[in-house]
Structure 1
């Protein structure tokens, strides 16, 4: 039976890497549904991820395509795994504090407790190291999310430090470990 992965993409310069992740997941035989924040659409178009996933990309929690389904609830119930990559500081904060003001956070909060949840932070080193962000990451872990740690690299802001999205291969390995455990 094909496993369904719900991929959340939030507003980070590394959002463009979601295209490669989506493509790799499809090549491995997974069904992929993508949810994007509005900020993510500034870095990569929903059409790109729709073409690669072969499924509509969900953007607006208030847009219900089917009258007999509540989209964010349906997506959450069908997911075998939730992956938030990249996970921006903003989206991590929203999830850590239970805000459901967009399609991505509403769906993540609607996930059944047994659904594995991964998040891969991607942000500036100072943002990542900020005690508020660290507290939010801790809260997500306490709520059952598993972190795929960011790597040290030259960041988009021009500094070298920890905060770059984990390599796609690392994210894929973590997904495979969880789904085939």
Structure 2
């Protein structure tokens, strides 16, 4: 099975990363989770560590082994890179090549040819904003496949496009790519 790096960014949908991690692990994949600081406000790293049976990486400055550079090693060990949920902030960072946290640094270090998926989750207006759409178009040019958000009643109370794609859709996309 594949080595999947699941990158979780700050969105209310971050709690769905638990189900995604669990299902991927049960399917036989090795799941390594990376979380932004904002993601840890929605779900704890310990939850995803227990489900993945692997360390969860949250701090780019934490280097446990002086003989390696963690974000480079994680990127090299990845068969598929998935950002789910992907916040507008994380999408912007990835589109502009920023590498100021573990998620964005690993993303920038992913070798050419490794499949990269991105599953946005945010308020409708944020998703439809021209900046976000432009950033998603850039990411498509950089080799990312977008797993489109769905239309739903959002946590903010608005109804519209921006809810994280159903976990089954994300899993189906992963299976098709692998």
TM-score past 0.5 threshold = yes
Deviation at 1:67, TM superposition (A): 1.6
Instruction: Please give the alpha-carbon distance, in whole angstroms, between the structure 2 residues aligned to 1:158 and 1:3.
Output: 37
Aligned pairs for 1:1-181 (under 5 A) are 2-179=1-178
Give structure 2 stretches of 5+ with no counterpart: none
Q: SS in structure 1 opposite 2:66?
A: coil
TM-score (norm 1): 0.98
**Secondary structure in structure 2 of the residue aligned to 1:98:** coil
Distance 2:66 2:6 in 1: 24
Question: Which whole-Å CA distance do the structure 2 matches of 1:123 and 1:138 have between them?
Answer: 17
The separation in 1 between residues aligned to 2:68 and 2:6, in whole angstroms, is 20
User: Tell me, what secondary structure is at the counterpart of 2:10?
Assistant: coil
Distance in 1 between residues matched to 2:127 and 2:161, nearest whole Å = 8
- TM score, norm. by length of structure 2: 0.99
Give 3-state SS (helix, strand or coil) of 2:63's partner.
coil
- Cα distance in 2 for residues equivalent to 1:19 and 1:63: 23
Q: 1:69 offset after TM fit, Å?
A: 1.1
Cα displacement (A) at 1:174: 0.3
Tell me how far apart the structure 2 counterparts of residues 43 and 5 of structure 1 sit (CA, whole Å). 21
Local SS of the residue matching 1:85 = strand
Task: Tell me the SS of whatever aligns to 1:14.
Answer: helix
Per-residue CA distance 1:8-27 (angstroms, 9 max, x = gap)? 00000000000000000001
Aligned residues: CA RMSD: 0.5
